[in-house]
Amino acid sequence: MFIRKWSTNNKPVGSIIIVHGLEEHSGRYDPFARFLTSKGFTVYSSDLPGHGVSSSPYGHIDSFNEFFETVETLMNIANIEFPDLPLYLFGHSMGALVSIRVAQERTEDFKACVFSAPPLHSLKKQAGGLVPLLIVLNMVAPFVRFSNRIDPNKLSTNPEAVKRYINDPFVHDKISARLFNNMDKNISIAWQKTDNLPDSVMFVYGTDDTVISVDAIKEFFEKVSAKNKRIVEIEGGKHEIFEDLERKERFFNEIASYFLDNL
């Protein structure tokens, strides 16, 4: 398992786990992780199975549990290295969905969680006429992969960031029938367990994000019963606000401040 760790030069105040999104990898969060270390946090991340330097075929997993196990391994490492410090969770896009599901099953383990642009809409509705094929492939050939049809230009308002994304050798555009069906299934489970989240959770998204459904995030947030929940809407932001030159500073500060408020 490939693990990245960013250490603070200050006395650590907590440990944060970062979970990246579909088709990308943990290395893309280096600037964000370094910012968090400047605030006193130790940060851990890993390339999820089927992503980055993982040995799995790009865009394929046998079970969503592979993602959960990756996060749980990082949790164990953080708790062994800093057993007396609070543990925090951040996930972006598909990584936010994974984080929501982990937090729902491990509610007591996290002091606070931040979910950035989680996909909480029905993927099957989005796929439309492809659904019957995807269901059949999931049963007979779950490893078959196809393009996820995400336009890189929809990810960021920063043209240079889009160019880096396209040219990144560890970024891909593949999703298998099994991963698609697992994502859709876990979106449904997430909606069933909105009461099973830690007391402190924050949702953040850009108003111009067309990769996911902003309306679904708002509706999900209303159903969440967490005592200290917060939603942050960043005007004009697209899907990857952490790459947006005009807005990433606010994005970084909103998240770090929420974690610091929950020490």
Q: Which domains does the chain have, with CATH numbers?
A: 3-261 (3.40.50.1820)
The confidence band for 40, taking pLDDT boundaries of 50, 70 and 90, is very high
pLDDT in tens, 139-198: 776 777 788 888 999 999 999 999 999 999 999 998 888 999 999 999 999 999 999 999
**Residues 115, 132: Cα–Cα separation, whole Å:** 31
Indicate the burial class of 43 (C-beta count within 10 angstroms; 0-12, 13-18, 19 or more).
Answer: buried
Alpha carbon distance 151, 167 (integer Å) = 14
Nearest-angstrom CA–CA distance, 12 and 157: 34
pLDDT tens, residue by residue, 88-136 = 999 999 999 999 999 999 999 999 999 999 999 987 666 555 666 666 7
Task: Confirm if 6 and 33 have CB atoms less than 8 A apart.
Answer: yes
Of 21-25, 91-95, 137-141, 208-212, which gets the smallest average pLDDT? Answer: 137-141
